[in-house]
Amino acid sequence: MKKRSYWLSVALILTVVFSFLVPPESIEARQNQVSDVEGASKKVSSESKPQMYIIPTSDPKKADEVMKQLERGKSPKELGLISDQQHAPRKQTLQQMASEAAKSKKFYPVSVDNFRTAAEGDDWTPPVFEYDDIQFDACVENDQSSEGWIKNHYSYCWSNYIVYSDPAGCGPSPFPFFCDWVSFRLTVIGNSMNGARTVFYNYTVDDIDMDFDSKGWIGSKVSVSIQCDGISENRDCLGDDSPTTRTLAQWKSNDDGSTLFDSDPPPITAGNKDQISYMDLWPRVTVDPPGNKYPPITNDGPKEKIRMDSADYLFVFNPNFYPKEGAVFANVQPVFFYDMDKPYFSVMKEAFQHHKDALTSPGSLIPGVEGRPPLTRLYSKYDPAQYAANRKAKDAACSKLSKPEGYECDEFPFASTYEGAGAGDGRFSVRYIPRAANNTHGRWLGAWYAYDRILHKDPFYIGFK
C-alpha cells in the first residue's frame, strides 16, 4: 500500500503541474481528470481487498464499457456484477428437480434443417434427426448467452467476462499503479444426447487483457471445471469434475477444455416408468495470480438442469433407433414449430391451417400457444382411459359434420394430449381435411415427440413461422 500511496501522490503532483501548462479551454478537462484521480484515490483507500467478479456479457464492447465505469469510481455492486457466487451440492429429490424445471419461462423455436425431397401422401417420411449445435461464434454473439442460452433441447451456451482486480472493482486507469487487474472471456457450450444419458461440455478462455503495469499477471493460473449435482439416491454425475488448470499464457496457446457426465438409469417404478433423473451443472472458475501476494478466488456461473430418461416408446416409427434413452436441457419450454411455407411440409398444409385457425381465431381459448396454458403429452399406454375419452369425444363432434370423399376428421388439440376433446371443457376444434394431410401430420408429430424427447405429461407449445 505504501508503494500505491507514493505513486498516487506523484500522479496528483504531475496533474497539478500539468494544469499550469494547458490553455484555458482545457480547464474543464483538467477538472474531470482530477475528479477521476480523487475517485480512484478513494477507491484505493476504501476497498483494499482483491475481488473476482463476472461481467454478465459476452460482448467485448459492453465489457469495456463496464470497465470504464469501474475506472470512473463505480463499484462492482453498483454495476450489478456477480461475485462470491458458489453453489454447494444439496440433497435433491426427483419431484423437487422436476418442479424446478417446470417453472422455466424460456422458449425456443424447433427447426429441422436436414430435409429429404418431399413425397406425396403415404410415401411421406419424417425428416431425419440431426443435432443443431451452437457454434462458438453464434454463442458469443447471442444476447441471451450472458444468462444462459438454450437453443434447443440438446444445445446450451453461457459466455461472460471474468475480472480479477486489486483493489476490488478497479479497472483501466490513465494513471499507473492504481490497481492490478486481469480479465478474460469464459465461454461454455453444452451438448446433450438423443440416444445416451450423457451431456458433454466444451469451454474456451479467450480475449485475455490486463492493466499495462500488470503484465506479470499473464502467469496467473486459471482453473475451469464443470460442477455436477444429481439426485441424491441416483448414480448421477458419473464423470470427471476436476478442473483444467493453465496459466493465462498457456490458455492463449491452448484455449479450450472439455468434460463429460453420464447418469445410470434408476429402477423402474410406478411413479417413474421412464427412469427419469436430473443433474444440475454449472461452470466454476478460479483465478490464482502469480506469487503469494494475492489469494486465489473462485466464482461459479449459473446452474443449468439436465433431464435424463430411458423411455422406450419414442422411436416406435424407427425400431432401429438404439439405445432408447437420452438427455435434454430441461429449463426450457419446447415448441412444435410449424414451418408453413416450406415445400417439404406442403402435404400437411391443411392440418397446419386447421391448427392455426383453432389457436388464432377471435375469442379462441384453446391452449397451446404462448400466453395460454401449454399442451401436455399423453402416452396412450400410460393413460388409456383418457386417450379413449379423447377419441370418443372427437368422433362425436366429427359425426355432426359432413365428410367429403377422401377426407378424415382432424382434431386439435391432439388426441395424444391431455387437452384433447375428452378434457370436457369444450376447448377443441374438429375439421375434415385430406387423408394425406391428416396421416402425414400424425407421423410428423410422432417423430417430433421422439426427436425432442417429449415424454408422457411433458408440456409443449405450437409455434408458426
Examine residue 121 and state whether it is found in any structural domain, yes or no.
no
pLDDT at 73: 79
Same domain, 365 and 272: no
Contacts of the segment 454-458: beta carbons below 8 A, 24+ positions apart: 454/334, 454/377, 455/274, 455/276, 455/309, 455/311, 455/314, 455/377, 455/379, 456/273, 456/274, 456/311, 456/377, 456/378, 456/379, 456/382, 456/383, 457/376, 457/377, 457/378, 457/418, 458/334, 458/376, 458/377
Same domain, 34 and 90: no
Same domain, 300 and 370: no
Examine residue 187 and state whether it is found in any structural domain, yes or no.
yes
Instruction: Lowest mean pLDDT of 26-30, 138-142, 175-179, 365-369, name the range.
Output: 26-30
Same domain, 269 and 178: yes
Examine residue 54 and state whether it is found in any structural domain, yes or no.
no
Mean pLDDT is highest, among 77-81, 319-323, 385-389, for 385-389
pLDDT at 292: 86
Same domain, 146 and 226: yes
Mean pLDDT of 169-196: 83
Q: Looking up cell 495470480, which residue turns up?
A: 289
pLDDT at 122: 56
Residue 157 clears pLDDT 90, i.e. is over it:
yes
Q: Which amino acid is at 222?
A: V
Same domain, 217 and 286: yes
Give the model confidence (pLDDT) of 198-239 as tens digits: 999 999 999 999 887 778 899 999 999 999 999 988 899 999
Give the model confidence (pLDDT) of 360-377 as tens digits: 999 999 999 999 999 999
Same domain, 144 and 232: yes
Same domain, 239 and 303: yes
Examine residue 448 and state whether it is found in any structural domain, yes or no.
yes
Same domain, 377 and 283: no
Domain boundary among 290, 306, 327: 327
What's the whole-number average pLDDT of the chain?
A: 86
Instruction: Lowest mean pLDDT of 18-27, 98-107, 298-307, name the range.
Output: 18-27
Examine residue 78 and state whether it is found in any structural domain, yes or no.
no
Examine residue 76 and state whether it is found in any structural domain, yes or no.
no
Same domain, 286 and 409: no
Same domain, 102 and 234: yes
| CA proximity to 232, closest of 90, 99, 329, 86 | 90
Residue 46 clears pLDDT 50, i.e. is over it:
no
Examine residue 105 and state whether it is found in any structural domain, yes or no.
yes
pTM of the model: 0.85
Domain boundary among 297, 327, 357: 327
| CA proximity to 386, closest of 429, 419, 430, 426 | 419
Q: Beta-carbon neighbour count of residue 249 at 10 Å?
A: 11
Same domain, 140 and 178: yes
Structural domain of residue 132, as residue ranges? 83-113+127-314+321-327
Residue 118 clears pLDDT 60, i.e. is over it:
no
- The percentage of residues in the chain with a pLDDT greater than 70, rounded to a whole number, is 85
pLDDT at 22: 38
pLDDT at 74: 84
C-alpha to C-alpha distance for 414 and 375, rounded to whole angstroms: 9
* Overall domain count for the chain: 3
For residue 433, CA distances in Å to 19, 95, 407, 439 come to 84, 41, 5, 10
pLDDT at 239: 94
Examine residue 64 and state whether it is found in any structural domain, yes or no.
no
Give the model confidence (pLDDT) of 64-108 as tens digits: 999 888 878 788 888 999 998 999 989 999 999 999 999 888 887
Domain boundary among 301, 327, 353: 327
